[in-house]
Amino acid sequence: MTLPRRLRSAIGIAEGDLVEASVRRGKIVLTPKLVIDRSEFGNADDEYTPEQRRIIDARLAKSDEDIRHGRVFGPFNTAEEMAASIEANIKKLRAAKKN
């Protein structure tokens, strides 16, 4: 679709930019869409040395094992429930340290 220059200018797009068209209350609404070329960005693999990656992978494997064996807390419905669980576990750890 081709829009007149004054309309493109009004919604902040240039010729060739992508837009999403939707219908709201019987009117067509055009929303500018940003397209990102992900190949221009690195990923986490580029940020770590092989040794760091091995450490990260080992920690992730351990956490997966903890989850499989039910060594988790929650789920919590509110932040308050989570905070109460943390406090209770801190008290248990402190009591265990004293013994």
Convert the pLDDT of each residue in 63-98 to its tens digit: 999 999 999 999 999 999 999 999 999 999 999 988
CA distance 26 to 22: 10
The CA–CA distances, whole Å, from 76 to 62, 68, 88 equal: 22, 18, 14
Q: What pLDDT is attached to residue 86?
A: 95
Is 90 within the bounds of a domain?
A: no
Q: Which domain holds residue 17?
A: 5-35
Q: Tell me the average pLDDT of the chain.
A: 89
Same domain, yes or no: 48 and 31: no
Q: Is the pTM of this model over 0.75?
A: no
Q: What pLDDT is attached to residue 10?
A: 86
Is 85 within the bounds of a domain?
A: no
Is 26 within the bounds of a domain?
A: yes
The partner residues of 26 in beta bridges, in order of sequence, read none
Is 28 within the bounds of a domain?
A: yes
Is 12 within the bounds of a domain?
A: yes
Is 79 within the bounds of a domain?
A: no
